[in-house]
């Protein structure tokens, strides 16, 4: 029976009635008491529970079917997919690695027509079902090797989107472009001959500078973080781009808003950072997207801040600078005798512990002083021009947090 055939009205109702229930308990409690495939129904509940935070709008549609055997780890979130959809529009696009279809769907909303390609038959059938519901008459569907299909096309696409598979043998995580499938590096020249624009979604672990050397003509690299956690590195090529030096954009997405920081590696290399002789009243930590993008010096120059050490990615100043894309901490005191002072400063035994380029990792520091995560205050350790220092801090909240 096809997966669509399994998703009967009775299954659909059962799924909606038990969305918030424990899947394991449902299997036990309803075994032998229903006339449909209980295991499939419970798998749908479990899949929707996993997808709720990632693709909330899809979970509101009771007619959609979710994969039961596919990890959603590599699938884009709705937030990042919506952001990508704002980057480009046109006539026809092709997603050569369709997967769950999240990127396919949101990108396609800015195009007149779209092609979804996928080589996994179960996933292909499920996503074809879903995309026909979400965007009737928008998609053509290609099952099989997408590169073989693409190389035989005569049409030039306004956008080709590729999210190479990043799992190897034994479920090993891969991040180098040449190790993923399809191998974008090997296909790059061919892709450019039939595309007006190419968008590659790569691993958050990707070496950005190496990618720029490997893929000729990239116009920009975008590092996307969601609520200060890096999720995607995007490589964008456009046949019409006039950029001679690739732009690097670090974007932190927070619900409907986003905070962007743009620079070039040329700017970064030509910038010198003043190292603070003394740490000021405030510590600044660039957001995760900026740190991943490699804006280690230009950040300080843009906001008039001094770095606390060449290898410590904290900056300092004596005033609160507005609109800084990152976290700002006010230093209340330097902790010079940790054994005596930490218990007095954190009597509940709870603290938000943060270390960068310090003599101990965050976990080591927590273990040494028997601290648990929590509370309002921060214990921050790093290396400065004076050596390793430890501070009692509090967060300065603002629009860019």
pLDDT at res. 75: 80
Q: Do the domain assignments include residue 57?
A: no
CATH of residue 221's domain is: 3.40.50.150
Other beta carbons within 10 Å of 82: 17
> pLDDT tens digit string along 76-116?
899 999 999 999 999 999 999 999 999 999 999 999 999 99
Tell me: do 377 and 278 sit in the same domain: yes
Residue 122 reports pLDDT greater than 60: yes
Residue 399 reports pLDDT greater than 60: no
Tell me: do 247 and 280 sit in the same domain: no
Tell me: do 310 and 219 sit in the same domain: no
Q: Do the domain assignments include residue 56?
A: no
Q: Do the domain assignments include residue 305?
A: yes
User: Which has the higher per-residue pLDDT, 401 or 128?
Assistant: 128
> pLDDT tens digit string along 187-237?
999 999 999 999 999 999 999 999 999 999 999 999 999 999 999 999 999
CA 185/CA 198 separation, integer angstroms? 13
Q: Do the domain assignments include residue 43?
A: yes
pLDDT at res. 349: 95
Tell me: do 316 and 286 sit in the same domain: yes
Residue 5 reports pLDDT greater than 90: no
Tell me: do 221 and 295 sit in the same domain: no
Tell me: do 291 and 260 sit in the same domain: no
Torsion over CA: 331, 336, 341, 343 (sign): positive
CA 128/CA 142 separation, integer angstroms? 10
pLDDT at res. 242: 81
pLDDT at res. 273: 86
- Closest among 124, 114, 56 to 89, alpha carbons compared: 114
Tell me: do 154 and 290 sit in the same domain: no
Q: Do the domain assignments include residue 66?
A: no
Domain of 39, in residue numbers: 3-51
Tell me: do 147 and 195 sit in the same domain: yes
Tell me: do 255 and 391 sit in the same domain: no
Parallel, antiparallel, or unpaired for β 377-384 and 387-396? antiparallel
For 127-132, which contacts have Cβ atoms below 8 Å and span 24 or more sequence positions? 127/98, 127/99, 127/100, 127/101, 129/3, 129/4, 129/64, 129/65, 130/58, 130/64, 130/65, 130/101, 130/105, 131/101, 131/104, 131/105
Q: How many domains does the chain have?
A: 3
Q: Do the domain assignments include residue 211?
A: yes
Residue 174 reports pLDDT greater than 70: no
- The tokens describing 315, both together, are 């900056």
pLDDT at res. 172: 61
State the average pLDDT for the chain: 94
Q: Do the domain assignments include residue 225?
A: yes
Tell me: do 196 and 300 sit in the same domain: no
**Residue where one domain finishes, among candidates 265, 284, 313:** 265
Cβ neighbours of residue 194 closer than 8 Å, sequence gap 6 or more:
150, 153, 155, 156, 157, 160
pLDDT band at 72 (very low <50, low <70, confident <90, very high): low
**Residue where one domain finishes, among candidates 235, 265, 295:** 265
Say if residues 72 and 51 touch (Cβ distance below 8 Å).
yes
- The pTM of the full predicted model, rounded to 2 decimals, is 0.93
The residue with tokens 């979804």 is 116
- Closest among 228, 258, 201, 220 to 83, alpha carbons compared: 258
pLDDT at res. 291: 98
Q: Where is 29: in which H helix or E strand?
A: helix 23-30
Q: Do the domain assignments include residue 176?
A: yes
Q: Where is 390: in which H helix or E strand?
A: strand 387-396
**Residue where one domain finishes, among candidates 214, 231, 265:** 265
Tell me: do 249 and 369 sit in the same domain: no
Tell me: do 314 and 192 sit in the same domain: no
């Amino acid at each position: 029976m096809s997966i669509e055939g399994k998703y009967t009205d009775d299954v659909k109702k059962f799924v909606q009635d038990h969305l918030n229930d424990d899947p394991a308990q449902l299997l036990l409690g309803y075994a032998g008491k229903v006339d449909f495939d209980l295991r499939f129904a419970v798998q749908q509940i479990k899949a929707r529970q996993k997808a709720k935070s990632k693709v909330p709008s899809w979970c509101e549609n009771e007619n959609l079917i979710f994969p039961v055997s596919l990890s959603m780890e590599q699938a884009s979130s709705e937030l990042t997919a919506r952001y990508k959809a704002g980057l480009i529009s046109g006539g026809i696009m092709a997603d050569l690695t369709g997967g769950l279809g999240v990127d396919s769907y949101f990108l396609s909303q800015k195009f007149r027509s779209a092609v979804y390609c996928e080589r996994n038959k179960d996933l292909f059938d499920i996503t074809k079902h879903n995309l026909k519901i979400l965007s009737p008459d928008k998609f053509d569907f290609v099952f099989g090797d997408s590169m073989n299909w693409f190389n035989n096309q005569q049409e030039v696409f306004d956008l080709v989107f590729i999210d190479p598979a990043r799992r190897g043998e034994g479920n090993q995580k891969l991040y180098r472009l040449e190790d993923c499938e399809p191998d974008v590096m090997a296909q790059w020249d061919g892709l450019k001959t039939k595309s007006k624009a190419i968008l590659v979604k790569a691993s958050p672990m990707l070496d950005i500078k190496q990618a720029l050397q490997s893929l000729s003509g990239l116009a920009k690299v975008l590092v996307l973080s969601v609520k200060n956690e890096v999720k995607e590195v995007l490589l964008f090529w456009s046949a019409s781009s006039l950029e001679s030096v690739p732009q690097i954009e670090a974007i932190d997405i927070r619900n409907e808003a986003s905070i962007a920081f743009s620079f070039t590696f040329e700017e970064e290399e030509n910038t010198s950072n003043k190292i603070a002789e003394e740490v000021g009243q405030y510590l600044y930590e660039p957001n995760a997207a900026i740190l991943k993008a490699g804006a280690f010096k230009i950040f300080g120059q843009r906001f008039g801040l001094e770095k606390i050490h060449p290898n410590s990615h904290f900056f300092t100043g004596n005033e609160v600078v507005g609109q800084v894309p990152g976290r700002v901490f006010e230093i209340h005191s330097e902790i010079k005798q940790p054994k005596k002072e930490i218990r007095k400063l954190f009597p509940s035994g709870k603290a938000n512990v943060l270390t960068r380029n310090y003599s101990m990792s965050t976990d080591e520091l927590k273990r040494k002083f028997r601290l648990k995560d929590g509370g309002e205050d921060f214990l921050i350790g790093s290396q400065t021009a004076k050596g390793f220092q430890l501070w009692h801090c509090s967060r300065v909240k603002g629009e860019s947090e």
